[in-house]
Amino acid sequence: MTETHYDYDMLVIGSGPAGQRAAIQAAKIGNRVAIIERKSVVGGACINTGTIPSKALRESVMYLTGYRLRSIYGASYSVKQDITMQDLMFRAQHVIRNEIDVTRSQLMRNGVDLLNASASFVDAHTLRLEFVDDSATRNFTAANIVIATGSGSEVVADVSSDMKRTYFPEDVLEMEKLPRTMAIVGAGVIGCEYASIFAALGMRITLIDKRDRILAFADEEIVESLTYHLRQNRVTMRLGETVAGLQNVNGLKGEGVVIDTTSGKQISAEAVLYCAGRSGQIYSLNLDAAGVKADHKGRIKVNEHYQTDAPNIYAVGDVIGFPALASTSMEQGRLAACHAFGVEAKSVPALFPYGIYAIPEISMVGRNEEELTEEGVPYEIGKAFYREIARGHIIGDTTGLLKLIFHLETRKLLGVHIIGEGASDLVHIGQAVMSFDGTVDYFVDTVFNYPTLAECYKTAALDGINRLRK
C-alpha cells in the first residue's frame, strides 16, 4: 500500500484494454484505483471504433457473403444478395453493447472508480480533471499514474474539412452506404484488414502505400500469400506510391475523389479510407508539467517496466507505439501495475502473438525466416496446407498454410506462421510449445483430434523432419 495522503494509489487515464487491465490488476492487490475516461462509454477505441467493430464487421461480411462456403457451393453463393451497411452494423452494434457492459461490470466488481472527465498533468502526482457532465474542475493526486490514452489516426494535411467521402478508420461505422469503389491509403494492419473485408463484399479496392511491401514485419511467404488473395479479389496494389493530393469530383456516376500521386498517377474512387499511420493521444495531457517526453508521433518513451521519464508515471498500450495490439496492451497494463506496487510478474514479450484479421486471417509468433537469416541462425521449415487436412475441406478453406520454423541442429521451435481460417486461435499451440523451449518433435509425438486444423502441426513437423533426412 502507498502513503494515505494521496487521493488514490493509482490513477489510470483511458479505459481501453491497457488501462482497464492496469486498473483491475492494481485493484485486485488492494489498492485504491480510479479510471479517467473522457468519453461517455468505456472501452476506448478498441471496443467502440477499432478492434471489436472491425472484427464484428469482418464476421458479418464472412457470413452474409457466404465467403467461407464459396469453394464448395461456387463463387456466386451468398447468404444475402444486396448487403447494406445496416446489415453489417447489426452484429457490430450488438457486440459493442455487450463489450461495454462487460467492461463496466468488471470495473465495478473490482471496486475501480470511473471518473468521466478529461485529464491534464499539474505535476508528476497530480491530475487536473474537467468533468464532462458539469464542466467542474478538480485536482486529484495519486502515488502512481498510468497513461493509457491510446492512439488516433494521424492528421493528414491533404484531407481538408471540405473533403467529401473521405474517411478514417474511426469513421467506418458511420458510413451511410457502401461505395462501389474505394481507395485505401496505407497498407499496414488496419489498411490490409479493411481492404480484404470490403473486397470480399465485391467492392473494387485500390490499396496505396509508399512502401514496397505490405506488412513488413510479417513472414514474407505469408505476406505473398495474402497479396495473392487480395489480387484474386480484384484488389489493385499501388505500392511505392506517395499521395500528393486529393480533390473532390462530380461525374456521371456521382460524387467521388481523385487521388494524385507523386509519380503522376490519378486514382479515382467513390470513397477514400485513410489508414496511413497513427499517433499517440497525448496532446491535451500537458506532459511537460510531469516531466514526461513524447516523440513527434505522440509516442511516449518507456523502459522495460513501462516507466516514463517520471518513475511513478507509466505508459502502456498504443500510446507507446508498436505493436499496438489489444492483446499486448492488456499485458503491458498488467505488468505496469504489478511493477508499480512491487508484485513480481513475468512475461515473455518475444512470444507475444500477432493476429491480423484480414481475409484470410494471419497470425504469427516467434521469429520469421528473414530475421533468422539476418541473425545467421541455421534453421529448417516445415509446411502444411489446409488442402492436405480433412478439416480444411470440411470448412471450405483449402488455401490456408501453417509454417513451422525450427533450429537446424537442436530442432527447437523458433517460429509459427499461419494464414487461413482460425489462424489466431491455432497459433497458440505453437506459442505454448515455444514457451517451454519445445522442439518440432513434440508435434510428431502428439496425437491431435481428427478432423481438426490442429493436425497441420503434425503434418508440418513431419514435412520439416523429412527435409532434414533428405
**What's the confidence (pLDDT) of residue 432?**
97
pLDDT tier at 73 (50, 70, 90 boundaries)?
A: confident
Q: In whole angstroms, what is the distance from residue 340 CA to residue 422 CA?
A: 37
Domains 8-153+279-349 and 166-276 share a fold: yes
Report the DSSP pairing between strands 379-385 and 8-13: unpaired
What pLDDT does 67 receive? 85
Q: Please tell us whether the domain made up of 360-469 is placed in CATH 3.30.390.30.
A: yes
Q: How far apart are the first and last CA of the chain?
A: 62
Amino acid identity of 420?
A: G
Task: Round to whole Å and give the CA distance between 26 and 341.
Answer: 8
Q: Rounded CA gap, 307 and 301, in Å?
A: 8
Given a cut of 90, whether residue 219 has pLDDT beyond it is: yes
Question: Shortest CA distance to 218 belongs to which of 243, 187, 240?
Answer: 187
Inform me whether the pLDDT recorded for 161 exceeds 60.
no
Are β-strands 113-115 and 33-36 bridged in parallel, bridged antiparallel, or unpaired? Answer: parallel
pLDDT exceeds cutoff 80 at 296 = yes
User: What's the confidence (pLDDT) of residue 156?
Assistant: 59
pLDDT of residue 236 exceeding 60, the answer is yes
pLDDT of residue 159: 56
Yes or no: domain 166-276 corresponds to CATH 3.50.50.60: yes
Tens-digit pLDDT profile for residues 255-267: 789 999 999 999 9
Residue with cell 511493477: 339
Q: Model-level pTM?
A: 0.91
pLDDT for 45 equals 79
C-alpha–C-alpha distance, residues 334 and 1, integer Å: 17
pLDDT tens for 272-294 read 999 987 889 998 999 999 999 99
Give the model's pLDDT for residue 252.
53
pLDDT reported for residue 349? 82
Pairwise pLDDT comparison (451 vs 324), residue with the higher score? 451
Closest CA to 357 of 62, 37, 31: 62
Mean pLDDT across the chain, nearest whole number?
91
Of 165-174, 202-211, 243-252, 265-274, give the lowest mean pLDDT range. Answer: 243-252
**With contact defined as beta carbons under 8 Å apart, do 378 and 407 qualify?**
yes
CA 84/CA 144 separation, integer angstroms? 47
Flag whether pLDDT at 1 surpasses 50.
no
Give 56 or 4, the one with higher predicted confidence.
56
pLDDT value of position 53: 86
Band (pLDDT 50/70/90 cuts) for residue 469 is low
* Dihedral sign, Cα of residue 66, residue 77, residue 392, residue 350: negative
Q: What is the mean pLDDT of residues 420-439?
A: 97
Domain boundaries, the chain: 8-153+279-349, 166-276, 360-469
Confidence of residue 74 (pLDDT cuts 50, 70, 90): confident
Q: What is the CATH number of domain 8-153+279-349?
A: 3.50.50.60
pLDDT tens by residue, 33-60: 999 999 888 888 778 877 888 999 999 9
pLDDT at 3 over 60: no
Which of these ranges, 90-94, 142-146, 227-231, has the smallest mean pLDDT? Answer: 90-94
Average pLDDT over residues 435-460: 96
Average confidence (pLDDT) over 368-373? 96
